[in-house]
Structure formats: C-alpha cells, structure tokens
A = this chain, B = another copy of it.
Amino acid sequence: MIGTPMLQTYAQAARLAARALAAASPSAKNTALLAMAEKLEAQREALYAANQKDLEAAQAAGLPAAKLDRLRLNEKVLQDLRTGLRQVAEMPDPVGEIEGLQIRPNGLQVGRMRVPLGVIGFIYESRPNATVEASALSLKAGNAILLRGGKEAWHSNNALVRLLQEALHEAGLPQEAIQLVPTTDRSAILEMCHLSGLLDLIIPRGGKELIELVQREARMPVLAHAEGVNHLFVDESAHLENAVRIAVNGKAQRPSTCNSLEKVLVHSAIAPVFLPRLAQAMREAQVELRGDERTRAFIPAQPASEQDWHTEYLDLILAVKVVDTLEEALEHIARYGSRHTEVICTEHHGHALRFLREVDASLVLVNASPRFNDGFQLGLGAEIGISTSKLHAYGPMGVKELTTTKFVALGQGQVRE
C-alpha cells in the first residue's frame, strides 16, 4: 500500500525525465532501443526466472490456460520484442520536424513543430510484452512513461523495467523515463487518474470495466478504445466469393480480438444467393449464426434478439440481418456500431465512396477484412493501442500519435499593429 505522495514523486521524476528526453538526440534514443534488444537476449535466463514466478502464482490461483499463455515469456515472444525494438529504432524520429512553414505578410515565418506529449500514464493487464512495446514507442516519441501493469505479471514487469532502465542509463538518458508503479493495487489506477498537471495523457488497455473507470476518473485526456461491434455490409453488387472470404476471415481468424467481425448486413436483392454460401462457409468454420426473420427464411439460424445487435461476442458467433438499401445499412451501423471497424463489400463505385464518407468509425474498409485494423497492418510500424475516441487519434496509435505539434514563429522584431 502506498499513498498519493509516492505516486506523485514518481510522476514528478517522470516530468523531469520528459524534459531531458524532449531535448535528447535521435541517436541517444535509438542507442537505448538497440541496447534494450540486446539485453532481452543477454538477460533472458533472468527474465524466464522472473516470469516463472508469475506463472507459478497464476497457476496456483487457477488462471485459465489462455491467460497463462498470454503471461508467458518464451523465445518466440522475446524474439518478436527484439525485432520490434529494432524496427522502432530504424523509424524516422518524429520530434522536431516543422510542418507547413509559411511566411505571413509581415515576414513572420510560422510553422508547427512536432514535439513529445510529455508524460504518459499506461494502465494495462496481463501481457508483459506490452511493458516493452509501450516503453519503446513512448521513448521514440520523446515521452516519459509511467507503467501500471497487472498483478499477474508483477515479477516479469519488474525484471523487464529494470532491463529497460539499464539501457536508458547506458545511452545517457534518465532512467525515470520508464517507471513501473510500485504496486498493483486498484487504488494506484485512481491515483494515476488524479495526477493532473503531472500526466499529459492516460492510455488504459484492458477490459471494458477498466476503461470506463479511467474515463470517469481521469482529470487528464484519455485515449481509449471501446468494444468493436463491427459490421460487414454485403451490397447488391458485391463479389460474393470475396464477401464470403472476408466474412470468414473477419469472424474466425482470431475471434477474441476487437477488430473481429460481429454482424453481417445483406442486401435483400442478393440474400437468396449469398446467404446459403455464407451459411455453409460459417458452418465449416464452426460459427454459430443468429439471424433476423428474413435471414432465417433462407438459412438455419437462431433468432437474433435486439440485444444481439448491440453485442460484441468475441466468440464464434455471428448475427446476420437482411436490409433493403445502402441507406438502411448506414442507419443500422450508425445506431448499433461502436465506431471501431466497418466494411462494405461492393463493386459499385458510388456506394463505396458513400460508405467511406458517411460511416463514422476508426477504420472504414471497402472489400477487405476488418482484421486489418491494426497498427502493423495499416503501416504505422507499431501501435500502442487503437483509439475510438475521435479527438487527437482515431484508430491505431503509433509513434506519431504519441506526439503533438506546437506553433513556432521566427521573426526579426515583428510586433502587432
């Protein structure tokens, strides 16, 4: 148990570190990132030992196998982390770039300089890899980060953060740029939320309850993702083979992720041809179907209730509905969608453009799987999460989304008339 003064001390140290980091050279930051990769290799036995303690405690506590799996550090996980660190080191440094420099009529040169956000609070649950991934992105963007990990990963996170701090130190950067909050009490989350003036941003990653708690309590901006109630609209002109493939990939490739498909809306003109093909493919993928009345006239499915249209299953379940027009599909998505990921399958140019323009979601796709809503897949290089808040970042957040721009103006004595 610690009280507010201790977290304040951590956050104040982070603020000082953030000032040093904002002025640090790209090469110092990259040296630290590469040193982190080397240490993950050199210290792997110590990491496995720390991780073993967490695994044993988790096993004793009866954690389900899937959770144990996410907690485990093995050669594959460390290899992926090393590759990720090297990739982040190779990315261009975002800090200091001046965008849109223009000369005003009075000769004043005005532009926007990309700068770090400052201090980021990162609240997450079991996976210890997130400790390294979030720290690396935060460092590249010139920020300090205060990490509050889950209690299951306590020993692993401590070992990882010690290693990350060693790398910072060797690169001549302040170790307080990456700190682990010294407790996994729930109270630490509330304390972080109340550190206004000391944290510039909080990113919660985890279940709905955690995210809602942080959104309610935080006195500073929060970048969070809502659940993904994601739709595929199969238009009258859709390429049916593509539509079936996208539906199966969206639903079944990894159903537990937030960018999975949850609902299919089918244009009534092609429902008689499309629905039997969809039903067969979903049967082969072991997906349970729920449908509205019109759907159930064509294929066997459980009746879908009003609640089904609101639900993110994260499971091998799919709800299907027949609609008569693109407008009806747009209405349904506006009403039930969660602004996460929305897809249209169509060969009609005007319908594609209209769907792209009018659907309000962090990623809108034409003729492609919703599973592409991911920082790597969209070309950001790496991500710290997906935002469904519309302010600042909407969609996957990479290094650039962990920075902001300030205005700069270069004069030769200009004053205002």
Contact = CB atoms under 8 A, between A and B. Distances in A.
A117 B215 CA distance: 19
A406 B361 contact: yes
A416 B253 contact: yes
Contacts of A366: 408-411
Interface in A256-300: none
A246 B413 contact: yes
Interface string A238-267: 010110011001100100000000000000
A389 B219 contact: no
Interface string A369-385: 10111000111000000
Given A219-B215, A410-B366, A118 B358 contact: no
A395 B406 CA distance: 7
Interface stretch (A80-88, A108-116, A164-172): A108-116
B378 A413 contact: no
Given A390-B404, A395-B407, A416 B249 contact: yes
Contact of A360 (B96, B115, B352, B364): B115
A104 B377 contact: yes
Contacts of A409: 363-366, 368, 372, 378
A391 B116 CA distance: 11
Contact of A245 (B392, B394, B415): B415
Contacts of A363: 406-409
- Which range contains the number of A residues in contact with the other chain? 35 or more
A146 to B, nearest CB: 16
Contacts of A96: 357
A23 interface: yes
A228 interface: no
A3 to B, nearest CB: 22
Contact of A367 (B250, B404, B410): B410
Given A200-B391, A242-B413, A394-B404, 8 more contacts: A23-B354, A96-B357, A110-B379, A118-B390, A249-B416, A362-B407, A366-B408, A371-B416
Interface of A: 19, 22-23, 96, 102, 104, 108, 110, 112-113, 115, 117-118, 200-201, 215-216, 219, 221, 223, 239, 241-242, 245-246, 249-250, 253, 334, 352, 354, 356-358, 360-369, 371-373, 377-379, 389-392, 394-396, 404-416
17 contacts: A19-B358, A23-B358, A201-B390, A215-B219, A221-B221, A245-B415, A362-B406, A365-B410, A365-B411, A366-B408, A366-B411, A367-B410, A367-B413, A372-B409, A377-B416, A395-B407, A396-B407
